[in-house]
Homo-oligomer: A and B are copies of this chain.
Amino acid sequence: MITSFHPPIRTLMGPGPSDVSPRVLEAMARPTIGHLDPEFVRMMDEIKELLKKAFKTENELTMPVSAPGSAGMEACFVNLVEPGDKVIVCQNGVFGGRMKENVERAGGEAVMVMDAWGSAVSLDKVAAAFDAHPDAAILAFVHAETSTGVSSDAKALCALAQERGALTIVDAVTSLGGTELRVDEWGIDAIYSGTQKCLSCAPGISPISLSAKAVDKVKNRTASVQSWFLDTNLVMGYWGGEGKRAYHHTAPVNALYALHESLVILHEEGIEKSWQRHAFHHQALKAGLEAMGIGFLVDEANRLPQLNSVIIPEGVDDAKVRSTLLSEYGLEIGAGLGDLAGKVWRIGLMGSSANRRNVTLCLSALESTLLGMGASVKAGKALQAAEQVYLQAS
């Protein structure tokens, strides 16, 4: 007989989901109302307003896709990529590879610009790709690579695409709310994110935003968008404009209560303050890890504060460390993906997980666990180093 599920209490410092605020969990548990209820429609308008502020955009087509980030990615590609379109896709981790899949399944041609996992997207290589393919319609890249913890220069990449007359599709799943992101100022044409990273909301929803130029391309397509569920021409009948909403699909009512609350929390803090907080706790975590003798995969200049890929000390049993942290401390950190499996851990400081308590717990639990396994890390230095960062700030 299967009975009710009661999850264990975890501290989520992996690549997402991050710790969800009790305020968000409580909002999600409020009584369900109809997806066409006037009060719900009013809340939808508020979500759009809050998302515009979070993305720093005035784009009318700014809305949450009713499915996880992977569907937000697919929404951008299936709407913007027409059969035969050439798309320059930058790959420097897992998610660039997924973009390639999306381009090809939408009937486009992916021109790949490859960089090493852990490196930022190379502007020179992208410029060369445009030289070789002046007819490229779209440039697609990942702003914050969750698989490696590297940040790429979205502003410069978008400027380059504009010079070459191409639209941009930007993966901001891990950047939104955690690091500087300015959709209108940088001229991003299509962007998607997720709720479970720096917004600290439950996973399952993907905020997207399309510029007027991007919307024009979708409206002027010759072929239908291949996905009915993700066709923005149809979805905007429900999410678009003011007043009357046409039924498209049944919105995930309670998940949207949660998104609303997480955005209210973000704006209470202020988006720039949230960026600063992520950077600040990253400094403390970094000081502690380095004092322990643990290094980073990514160069300091391109490092994401919210996703720390750190090198697993030699001879250490990756899986055993992670399972000990989980079972003994209720602490989740992430494994490496692909070629980085067994080589790095991914320590997230996302959203409400970016706080002093989590940094301290992570450093302490990791040090104890590694020492307990006889790993050659420096003992007794990490907390003091982190503490220095916090003291200097106060």
A interface residue numbers (CB < 8 A to B)? 2-10, 12, 14, 16-17, 19-20, 23, 25-35, 37-40, 43, 46, 49-50, 66-71, 73-74, 78, 98, 101-102, 104-106, 194, 196, 202-205, 224-229, 247-255, 257-258, 260-261, 264, 267, 326, 332, 337
Contacts and interface: CB of A to CB of B under 8 A. Distances in A.
A74 B255 CA distance: 21
A279 B35 CA distance: 26
Contacts of A7: 30-33, 37, 39-40, 43, 257
A198 to B, nearest CB: 14
Given A39-B7, A203-B35, A267-B2, A105 B224 contact: yes
A225 B331 CA distance: 37
B227 A74 contact: yes
Tell me whether chain A's interface is mostly helix, strand or loop, or mixed.
Answer: loop
A91 to B, nearest CB: 15
B34 A12 contact: yes
Contacts of A31: 7, 9-10, 20, 25
A204 B32 contact: no
A33 B13 CA distance: 11
Of the candidates A4, A39, A229, the one having the most CB atoms from chain B within 10 angstroms of its own CB is: A229
B2 A254 contact: no
A230 to B, nearest CB: 8
Contacts of A32: 7, 12, 17, 19-20, 25, 196, 202-203
A33 B5 contact: no
A30 B20 CA distance: 10
A264 B46 contact: no
Contact of A250 (B20, B196, B224, B332): B196
Contacts of A67: 66-68, 71, 229
B28 A4 contact: no
Given A105-B227, A203-B251, A203-B253, A4 B33 contact: no
Contacts of A9: 31
A40 B17 CA distance: 13
8 contacts: A4-B23, A8-B39, A17-B250, A25-B32, A37-B326, A68-B249, A203-B254, A254-B255
Of the candidates A3, A8, A29, the one having the most CB atoms from chain B within 10 angstroms of its own CB is: A29
A67 B255 CA distance: 11
Contact of A35 (B17, B28, B50): B17
Nearest to A104: B224
Contact of A264 (B2, B101, B106, B251): B2
A224 B106 CA distance: 10
B71 A194 contact: no
B5 A74 contact: no
A69 B35 CA distance: 14
B225 A105 contact: yes
A250 B199 CA distance: 15
A261 B6 CA distance: 10
A5 B260 contact: yes
A264 B34 contact: no
Contacts of A3: 264
B26 A12 contact: no
Contacts of A255: 202, 204, 252, 254-255
B37 A10 contact: yes
B17 A68 contact: no
